[in-house]
Amino acid sequence: MACLNTCGSLGSYFKMLVENSNLVAPCPAATFSSSSERYEILNENVQYTDSTLGGSGLTGTVDPIFAHLRSGTRIVFGRILLEVGPYELSKWLPRILGNAGSPPTYTTGQVFNLQPFDIMMKRDKGTVIYRHCAVNRAIFSARASIDGDEQVMQLGLDIIGYQEHDATYPEDEPDLPSGQRLYWLLGDGKLNLPGTGTEYYFDAFNLFIDNNLVPQTRNFLRITCLQSRGRSIRLQVSTPYTADSHTNLYINRFTGTGKLSFLGSKNLGGTDQQGYETTFDFPLLYQTRRTPSTRGHGEIPLSLDLQAYRDATNEPITITNKVA
């Protein structure tokens, strides 16, 4: 009797490498090697669309005719979700903000630079390269819990890319970092709103950096241009509804500077590492008021919804990312 094997690829064996795109004509695919960036991720749904068009005419039959079809415009898009700390951010912040910055300080710029990159994904038994990708939107998030993974800061990267093609995973693959890693937890965070003179405790946060990339295909069947049509930066925080937050963060609509910090030295535990720090500075935050709602016997939360703006001398966000 012949052996029966219906097993497919396993996510456990997934591997992802990243290289900056080759921008010298004719712009070949990046070369992946032992020096490439390698990341462990939670999941991804990056895909390459290849739709079929035409064949809609009247042919004397109710059935479509395959030979009358053409492949339409191709585009790469999808989300990559990973847990992050200072190591990952040192590579991804320039791509998210569209500005190389001067490490350890990264900021936005009046002109958005795509900072394009190529991604190699080995989905166990199949390997492909996604070329000339850019970050359309980045979402930082974490939630309070006693022992759940949701307290680890996660970064969702919504990407747009030009092309997918088959590839061979390098034999001299890069190793995952072998040193002790620091992934930020919600418990490492501090939120300061100096205009109120108060540090605010919080149970969850979402930081959205939306570059609003618009792909253009023109008279081609692939993307030939990616442009930002206006960036949006938004910080959402769930904080306890108290007498102080009622006055300063609800009745008096908050407008002012803000600082969201993650400090490796905040909590003095055996696994905390000194010298690590990631700080998000906002020169001008403007609050969209959200009325607190009573959901039962439990604590009443106040949902802060803060939009970041450029002021006369500062970018809407500056991120300091210190890696010890």
pLDDT of residue 199: 87
The rounded distance, in Å, linking the Cα atoms of 235 and 285 is 9
Mean pLDDT of 171-176: 92
Which ranges in 213-310 belong to alpha helices (H)?
A: 243-246
Which ranges in the chain belong to alpha helices (H)?
A: 86-97, 243-246
261-289 per-position pLDDT tens digit: 998 777 655 555 667 899 999 999 999 99
Report yes or no: 140 and 155 within 8 Å, Cβ to Cβ.
yes
State whether the Cα torsion 106-107-110-115 is positive or negative: positive
Residue with tokens 């990616």: 226
**40: nearest Cα among 176, 180, 178:** 176
Domain ranges of the chain: 12-51+70-170+183-322
**163: nearest Cα among 122, 126, 129, 213:** 129
Q: CB under 8 Å to 283, separation ≥6 — which residues?
A: 257, 309, 310, 311, 313, 314, 315, 316
pLDDT of residue 267: 65
| pLDDT bucket at 196, cuts 50 / 70 / 90 | low
pLDDT of residue 276: 87
Instruction: Indicate the burial class of 81 (C-beta count within 10 angstroms; 0-12, 13-18, 19 or more).
Output: middle
Map residue 17 onto helix, strand or coil.
strand
Mean pLDDT of 173-183: 82
309-320 per-position pLDDT tens digit: 999 999 999 999
- 102: pLDDT strictly greater than 60: yes
Q: What's the token pair of residue 2?
A: 């012949």
- pTM of the entire structure? 0.94
- 195: pLDDT strictly greater than 70: no
Report yes or no: 124 and 169 within 8 Å, Cβ to Cβ.
no
DSSP class of residue 252 equals S
231-262 per-position pLDDT tens digit: 999 999 999 999 999 998 999 889 999 999 99
